[in-house]
């Protein structure tokens, strides 16, 4: 797991612990974690990566329960293939990922903004402990 565990799970948990007292003192808010749709069904060669992301989804659901009485909502966005630097560096993976979506393409980074704005805003005031998939219909 090398660097994956600290980056994908340990640091989000640590950050949550640091921000929880502040959000509680302010009377609530919204926390959004970012995992991956791959957390639902990892494939060969990505088991460590997708396992840490599945752990982040589980952590989200737990702290959503723990922080609900404080008025803090906690959710996860699970993107599918996005045109990130990592994806651009591995064009063979991008091509394969694009064919795994119903839309047959890799998304632009701007296409995740709507989900983030929704989860951060009062429009999602009754949404907590959820994982919001933004993956172009990628089959899980």
Candidate list 40, 49, 67, 82, residue with the active-site label:
49
Cβ–Cβ < 8 Å for 117, 49: no
DSSP-derived 3-state class of residue 3: coil
Sign of the torsion formed by the C-alpha atoms of 83, 15, 53 and 4: positive
Residue 66: count of CB within 10 angstroms of its CB: 12
Active site residue 40: no
The Cα–Cα gap between 57 and 130 comes to 8
Catalytic residues, by residue number, are 49
């Amino acid at each position: 797991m090398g660097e994956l565990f600290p980056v994908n799970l340990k640091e989000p948990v640590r950050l949550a612990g640091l921000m929880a007292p502040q959000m509680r003192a302010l009377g609530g808010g919204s926390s959004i974690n970012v995992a991956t749709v791959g957390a639902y069904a990892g494939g060969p060669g990505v088991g460590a990566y997708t396992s840490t992301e599945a752990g982040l989804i589980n952590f989200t659901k737990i702290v959503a329960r723990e922080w609900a009485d404080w008025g803090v909502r906690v959710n996860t966005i699970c993107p599918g293939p996005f045109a990130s630097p990592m994806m651009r560096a591995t064009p063979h993976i991008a091509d394969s990922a694009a064919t795994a979506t119903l839309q047959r393409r890799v998304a632009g980074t701007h296409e995740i903004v709507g989900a983030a704005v929704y989860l951060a805003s009062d429009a999602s005031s009754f949404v907590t402990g959820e994982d919001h998939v933004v993956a172009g219909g990628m089959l899980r």
